Amino acid sequence: MDKYIAIVGTNSDQSTNRKLLYFIKDYFKNEADIEIIEIKEFPMFNKPDDGNLPSIVKEVAQKIEEADGVIISTPEYNHAVPAALMNALNWLSYNIYPFVDKPVMITGASYGTLGSSRAQSHLKQMLDSPELKARTMPSSEFLLSHSLQAFDESGKLVDENQIQKLHSLFLDFKHFVYMTNQLMSAHKQNKKEAENFSWENI
């Protein structure tokens, strides 16, 4: 069974993105082993002079390295991902590069109509950066709008059409993970390029 890491892309205690990931974890429990990861404990990124990383960063990076794939669920703040998620990705691309060539599926929930569409686009750009180099599943947005009304008291999505769409995307992601993990001939070179990349040398 595949092992996935699911990252809650916010530090909010009441996030519907967390609800969405826990629904995914439960609904697909026979398809994959999914571990929910929080980023609330990540300190503010400060580019430590000694290069030593906080233990929480190293722990999460190790889990990402060992996972077959990653799911990130992001809300949208001012047409972008939350500062907490950006902060976590900054840490996870500094002297440590677990996202290089890692298959990633992006989901998002928002209180409004657009379902974090702009934040998802922003996140794809970030994951494609030279320091992260993740492989994001294309044409796969799951946009959960009006998320405050989207779940019942047990945490299940109430819209059957949304469930069916999510199910189809998740099965596609499983295929994407398999195919992506076969395309690893350049992985060592890609990781080396991420490690050696510096904006100061451009």
Give me the average pLDDT of each 10-residue run along the chain (202 residues). 96 93 97 97 88 93 97 90 96 95 94 80 94 92 86 94 95 95 88 80 60
DSSP 8-state code for residue 53: P
Please state, for a pLDDT cut of 70, what percent of the chain lies above it: 98
The pLDDT, as a whole number, for residue 148 is 86
Contact (Cβ atoms closer than 8 angstroms) between residue 9 and residue 85: yes
pTM of the model: 0.93
The pLDDT, as a whole number, for residue 201 is 63
The pLDDT, as a whole number, for residue 202 is 58
Helical H segments across 28-100, by residue range:
55-66, 83-91
Write the pLDDT tens digit of every residue in 4-58: 999 999 999 989 999 999 999 999 999 999 999 999 999 999 888 777 899 999 9
Q: CA 167, CA 180: separation in Å to the nearest integer?
A: 20
DSSP 8-state code for residue 200: G
Q: CA 157, CA 162: separation in Å to the nearest integer?
A: 8
Contact (Cβ atoms closer than 8 angstroms) between residue 109 and residue 115: yes
Q: CA 159, CA 59: separation in Å to the nearest integer?
A: 36
The 3-state DSSP class for residue 157 equals: strand
Q: Domains along the chain? A: 2-196 (3.40.50.360)
